């Protein structure tokens, strides 16, 4: 009896502590990353998928970031799947979204060995034909978006790990000069766009980054238009190179800008609070290295949510590589970015459970909502999520929770089968509701 009572009062105390933490989410009062970055003279970006730019995904992409990179929409296989027939729909959509949200666009990418259309890779071309195909591709794409793209990843991944040139369609057909030619053609099509060479495993000082360094140096000496280098930064947990800042600095000293173009930090799954804390430190040190060098102009994450990351399918067993979890709750990594940009964390990044509210689909009279309760460094054996609707919204039906609404006050308690939220885990419930006029997102309190 005695131990039972102790257990109960501990649980009550613990639940009480959790109640203090309102939902952090994208909608919390924390200063948006893009505002923090602007105060440091930096731009913060994310790769995006055009079809997802609505609801909570669109809200976060538009409010937290000052630059967008199309994850796939501007690649050759996307824009010209059949020779001579073009599909600009997703690229146009992303550019329009960026303009509506006062964001830069990084164009990605014009010359690469991967994600080319099969008509191109399966064709037999003389080098003159190959050269004119590439020139046409660059002129067409860069010309279409002239004045709308801040920077182009003109050439992507030209090097092997040992610093020799990668054997590709372009290198094999045109020689190393394809790089200078591509830059020159891109410059002719949009003289204002900043032109980059982008690669991975070039974050620290090593053979590959030194080859990139030597290439940039020789291009500059030859008067070829090269404005920057992109360090992709697809990193593994705990492995931010110690020479990152030194490497950024040596490129800056060459007279080019530097961007971290595809930052993610993957971990072996499942995630836990120790790994998430290390990931926070990793995101923070990458951002801090950029903040420390004036010519480091942009840090872009390769997907801002774990539900929109290439990592899980590309590196089996690894994931959780981005700053937001799959339900759009900011992870410790988000606060790592924020802190490196001078932000103060208003929500404990670890050791708490939080609730995140998001709107899924919405139609003229109704919408579907979801609340996710996630724990990191803590756990729950039962929960209740409460909020106040500010614009007359009314819940009509809920699942995976028992919800009651009295006036504007909503309270949802766990069902019999989902009261437990383990450390590093999450539970979600959904509901249908009506709305009219506006549908603002409320702050959810856990208790």
| Paired tokens of 409 | 């006050």
Contact residue for ligand XIL among 31, 63, 72, 243 (CB under 6 A)? 72
> Which CA distances in Å does 318 have to 266, 312, 322?
6, 6, 12
- Does the annotation count 262 as an active-site position? yes
168-207 residues in contact with ligand XIL (CB under 6 A) are none
CA-to-CA distance for 223 and 439, rounded, in angstroms? Answer: 54
CA-to-CA distance for 101 and 117, rounded, in angstroms? Answer: 31
Residue nearest to ligand XIL (CB): 310
Nearer of residues 72 and 168 to ligand XIL, judged by Cβ: 72
Contact residue for ligand XIL among 56, 131, 232, 322 (CB under 6 A)? 232
CB of 247 to ligand XIL, least distance (A): 18
Contact residue for ligand XIL among 14, 310, 315, 318 (CB under 6 A)? 310
Phi and psi angles of residue 114, each rounded to the nearest 5 degrees, phi first:
-115, 160
CB of 232 to ligand XIL, least distance (A): 6
Query: What x/- string results for residues 259 through 278 when contact with ligand XIL is judged by CB under 6 A?
Result: ---x----------------
Nearer of residues 153 and 257 to ligand XIL, judged by Cβ: 153
CB of 262 to ligand XIL, least distance (A): 6
Question: Nearest-CA neighbor of 265 among 243, 242, 234?
Answer: 234
CB of 310 to ligand XIL, least distance (A): 4
- Round the CA-based radius of gyration of the chain to a whole number and report it: 24
Nearer of residues 60 and 403 to ligand XIL, judged by Cβ: 60
Active site residue: 80, 203, 262, 339, which one?
Answer: 262
147-166 residues in contact with ligand XIL (CB under 6 A) are 156
CA-to-CA distance for 64 and 334, rounded, in angstroms? Answer: 10
Contact residue for ligand XIL among 50, 71, 158, 369 (CB under 6 A)? 71
Nearer of residues 165 and 310 to ligand XIL, judged by Cβ: 310
CB of 287 to ligand XIL, least distance (A): 20
Active site residue: 141, 157, 203, 339, which one?
Answer: 157
- Count of residues touching ligand XIL (by CB under 6 A): 6
CA-to-CA distance for 45 and 70, rounded, in angstroms? Answer: 11
Nearer of residues 34 and 106 to ligand XIL, judged by Cβ: 106
- Does the annotation count 90 as an active-site position? no
Which residues, at least 6 apart from 273, have a Cβ–Cβ distance to it below 8 Å?
A: 350, 351, 376, 377, 423, 424
Q: Is 240 helix (H, G, I), strand (E, B) or coil?
A: coil
Question: Nearest-CA neighbor of 410 among 437, 441, 364, 382?
Answer: 441
CA-to-CA distance for 34 and 380, rounded, in angstroms? Answer: 33
CB of 71 to ligand XIL, least distance (A): 5
Which residues, at least 6 apart from 296, have a Cβ–Cβ distance to it below 8 Å?
A: 42, 248, 252, 257, 258, 259, 260, 289, 290
Nearer of residues 71 and 343 to ligand XIL, judged by Cβ: 71
User: Contact between 209 and ligand XIL (CB under 6 A)?
Assistant: no
Burial letters for 257-288: b for 16+ Cβ neighbours within 10 Å, e otherwise? bbbbbbbbbbbeeebbbebbbbbbbbbbbbbb
CA 238 to chain centre: 19
CB of 178 to ligand XIL, least distance (A): 17
Question: Nearest-CA neighbor of 427 among 351, 346, 356?
Answer: 356
Which residues, at least 6 apart from 409, have a Cβ–Cβ distance to it below 8 Å?
A: 386, 387, 388
Nearer of residues 301 and 427 to ligand XIL, judged by Cβ: 301
- For ligand XIL, the binding residues (CB under 6 A) are 71-72, 156, 232, 262, 310
Just list the catalytic residues.
157, 262
């Amino acid at each position: 009896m005695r131990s039972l009572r102790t257990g109960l009062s501990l649980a009550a105390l613990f639940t009480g502590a959790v109640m203090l933490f309102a939902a952090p989410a994208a909608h919390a009062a924390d200063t948006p990353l893009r505002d923090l970055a602007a105060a440091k003279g930096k731009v913060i970006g994310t790769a995006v998928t055009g079809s997802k730019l609505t609801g909570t995904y669109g809200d976060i992409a538009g409010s937290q970031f000052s630059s967008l990179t199309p994850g796939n929409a501007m690649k050759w296989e996307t824009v010209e799947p059949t020779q001579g027939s073009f599909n600009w729909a997703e690229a146009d959509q992303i550019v329009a979204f960026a303009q509506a949200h006062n964001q830069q666009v990084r164009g990605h990418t014009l010359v690469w060995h991967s994600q080319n259309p099969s008509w191109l890779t399966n064709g037999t071309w003389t080098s003159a034909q190959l050269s004119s195909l590439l020139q046409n591709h660059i002129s067409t794409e860069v010309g279409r978006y002239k004045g709308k793209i801040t920077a182009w990843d003109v050439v992507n991944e030209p090097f092997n790990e040992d610093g020799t040139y990668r054997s590709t369609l372009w290198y094999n057909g045109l020689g190393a000069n394809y790089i200078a030619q591509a830059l020159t053609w891109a410059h002719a099509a949009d003289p204002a766009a900043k032109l980059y060479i982008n690669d991975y495993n070039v974050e620290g000082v090593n053979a590959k980054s030194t080859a990139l360094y030597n290439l940039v140096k020789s291009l500059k000496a030859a008067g070829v238009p090269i404005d920057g280098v992109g360090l992709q930064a697809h990193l593994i947990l705990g492995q931010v190179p110690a020479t990152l800042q030194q490497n950024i600095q040596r490129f800056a000293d060459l007279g080019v800008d530097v961007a971290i173009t595809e930052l993610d930090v993957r971990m072996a799954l499942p995630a836990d609070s120790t790994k998430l804390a290390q990931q926070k430190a990793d995101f923070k040190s990458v951002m801090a290295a950029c903040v420390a060098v004036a010519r480091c102009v942009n840090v872009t994450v390769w997907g801002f949510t774990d539900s929109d990351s290439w990592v899980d399918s590309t590196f089996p067993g690894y994931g959780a590589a981005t700053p937001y979890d799959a339900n759009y709750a900011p992870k410790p990594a988000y606060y790592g970015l924020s802190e490196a940009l001078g932000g103060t964390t208003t929500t404990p990044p670890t050791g708490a459970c939080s609730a995140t509210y998001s709107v899924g689909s919405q139609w003229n009279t109704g919408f579907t909502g979801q609340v996710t309760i996630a724990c990191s460094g803590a756990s729950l054996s039962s929960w209740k999520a409460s909020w106040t609707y500010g614009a007359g919204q009314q819940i009509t039906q809920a699942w995976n929770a028992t919800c009651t609404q009295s006036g504007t006050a909503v309270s949802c308690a766990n069902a019999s089968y989902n009261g437990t939220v383990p450390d590093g885990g999450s539970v979600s419930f959904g509901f249908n509701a009506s709305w009219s006029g506006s549908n603002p997102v409320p702050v959810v309190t856990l208790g």
